[in-house]
Structure 1
Amino acid sequence: MIHEKVMLTDVTGRDGFQMEDWIETEEKIIIINEIIAAGVKRIEATSFVSPKAVPQLKDAKEVMKHINRENVNIIALIPNVKGAEFALESSVDEVNVVVSVSETHNRKNVKKSVDESLEGIIEIYRLVESAGKKVNVGLATTFGCPFEGIYEVNRVTEVMKKLTANGLSSFMLADTTGMANPLQVSNFIKSLKGAFPSTDLSLHLHNTRGMGLANILAGYHSGIRSFDASLGGIGGCPFAPGATGNVALEDVAHMFYQMNIPIDPNLTKLIRAAKKLEEVLGYKLPGQVMKAGLSTDLHQA
């Protein structure tokens, strides 16, 4: 049986590092370059956000200047037009923008209503598109919000309608607080693919309740071929209670590899990079494969 290839996007440099204490710029560059050297083709490397809001990423320009740019698409998350201008000056390949499906979470995250955020995204899109770059919209709390509860798919549909009407066509469905389950993921994707057949959909899942890999597999079987993950499973959302890290990049890669589903990264190099990250951070990371090794590894009896 021939399986369709999966695109894995690493978000260590942004979603991961934003939740840590200060990491030296040189160490960030080393880790990101290790991930690129392992064969990952898309990297969300940093965010051009106010240093007052996220001081962990105040070195975004320096990181962008010194990471390896060969054979990889480099993405930056941006919060506003000023951030978009900085990102374009740093020659990003793509930009990510985020709006919460939840009014409560959006106000806690960016101090705006959802409609205000949508207006800002449309303005960013016009600027970035005119520069020939791609804009991806992350829909935070797609599957539910800890302040407002589990959502029905129509909540997401209404947000996407406003954005697709203005030309946007690439969306990341983000389980920001790890509230999704595999059946819900499958149902949402089927509904959204039916409602928006010309859009590109990807999944950005957190492993807060241990269902990250199950949700990714449900997404794959529902037609998704693009997934975000972070090295070692670091990351989270600073504005959502109990939102632990992303699904570990090497764990996701290992699952697909064992299922004979094609991926770009080299697993051995990813595990090496995860162990290097653990040394840099100075604590045990939640990733499983970096501890146990590949399922195909053999040991002396």
Structure 2
Amino acid sequence: MIFPNNVEIIEVGPRDGLQNEKKFVSTERKKELIRLLASTGVNRIETASFVHPKVLPQMADAQEIVAYCNELGIPYMALTPNRKALELAIEAKVPQIAVFVGASETFNEQNIRRSIHDSLQECSEIFAMAKQHGLFIRGYVSMCFSCPYEGPIQYSQVKRVVRSFIDGRVDEISIGDTNGQANPRIVFERFQQLQMDFPTTTWVGHFHDTNGLALANIIAAMQAGVTKFDASIGGLGGCPFSPGATGNVATESVVKMLHEMNIETGLDLQKLQQAKDYAVSLL
């Protein structure tokens, strides 16, 4: 087996981890979580989502959160699912943005009430506008392995979205096991095929731990050459449009495993534990 010397962990807890919580987490407590996470040495944090408050009430304080991130001077990312959201992010001086499209037609319709075709069309407009403002762009592809509505997802479905993202000149693409049903074999084979078809693209692995296979899937992805992974402090998270899916893989668990394998992350495990204890207290 071949392992990298270094892996980048992108912390998604403040956005992906908290977005599905029914009880509103106060803005001040979110800020404290972000501060604790920044102290761990993490390179990037996904902190907010510019989604209408009626859709995601938990993200209603996005403007104040990103203003705080700008004060801290940390590298961070915000989700901008449509043109209006991007305009708000640009106004707030967000340095990195993310968009998402499902590889599953049914999931995409359930999640954002649009076909994949229509979503990709809007994404191309978002990408062009973001590039004009010099923003770093991440593209999320959701449901890349299986879907609670459609069952197994074919590689061609993933490739369709990936191709459109690459044509839009995104800076990285996060491949998501959104409902946590992937296994190490399909993870390795899917990333290997993506690497072969798009060798210059930067890939990120995004795994949920529904079946307890997230760590094994990270190892499988590393074997295919992936060196960047999303993780959520305390394993917070879940997708409201993916029935049965549990949280993201826990940041502290990923870092502990990697450090025991002599793979550097640049993160302080003791400070991660402190951040984890605080994150759990928010629920």
Q: What TM-score does the superposition give when structure 1 sets the normalisation length?
A: 0.90
Structure 1 residue 148 corresponds to structure 2 residue 150:
yes
Aligned to 1:157: 159
Change (3 A) 1:70 1:3: farther
Aligned to 1:176: 178
Kindly name which structure, 1 or 2, has the bigger radius of gyration based on alpha carbons.
1
Structure 1 residue 7 corresponds to structure 2 residue 8:
yes
Aligned to 2:268: 266
Whether contact under 8 Å (1:150, 1:179) holds in the other structure is: no
Aligned to 1:52: 54
Aligned to 2:119: 117
Whether contact under 8 Å (1:40, 1:72) holds in the other structure is: no
Residues 92-125 of structure 1: CA distance to partner in whole angstroms, max 9, x if unpaired? 2211100000000000000000010000111100
Aligned to 2:69: 67
Quote how far apart the aligned CAs of 1:71 are: 6.5
Greater displacement, 221-230 / 164-173: 164-173
Partner Cα distance (2:203, 2:72) in 1: 25
Residues 10-47 of structure 1: CA distance to partner in whole angstroms, max 9, x if unpaired? 11111111111200000000001100011111100010
Partner Cα distance (1:3, 1:171) in 2: 19
CA RMSD of aligned residues (A): 1.5
Quote how far apart the aligned CAs of 1:169 are: 4.8
Change (3 A) 1:63 1:71: closer
Counterpart amino acid of 2:7?
Answer: V
Partner Cα distance (1:239, 1:40) in 2: 29
Change (3 A) 1:26 1:178: same
Whether contact under 8 Å (1:84, 1:124) holds in the other structure is: yes
Q: What TM-score does the superposition give when structure 2 sets the normalisation length?
A: 0.96
Aligned to 1:76: 78
Residues 118-139 of structure 1: CA distance to partner in whole angstroms, max 9, x if unpaired? 0011110001110001111100
Residues 32-84 of structure 1: CA distance to partner in whole angstroms, max 9, x if unpaired? 11000111111000100110100011000111112365563210011101101
Change (3 A) 1:208 1:69: farther
Partner Cα distance (1:244, 1:69) in 2: 33
Partner Cα distance (1:107, 1:182) in 2: 28
Partner Cα distance (2:210, 2:80) in 1: 25
Give aligned pairs, total. 281
Partner Cα distance (1:249, 1:203) in 2: 13
Structure 1 residue 229 corresponds to structure 2 residue 254:
no
Change (3 A) 1:265 1:155: same
Aligned to 1:238: 240
Partner Cα distance (2:282, 2:9) in 1: 23
Provide the identity percentage. 38
Whether contact under 8 Å (2:128, 2:168) holds in the other structure is: no
| Structure 1: unaligned runs, 5 residues or longer | 282-301
Partner Cα distance (1:63, 1:169) in 2: 24
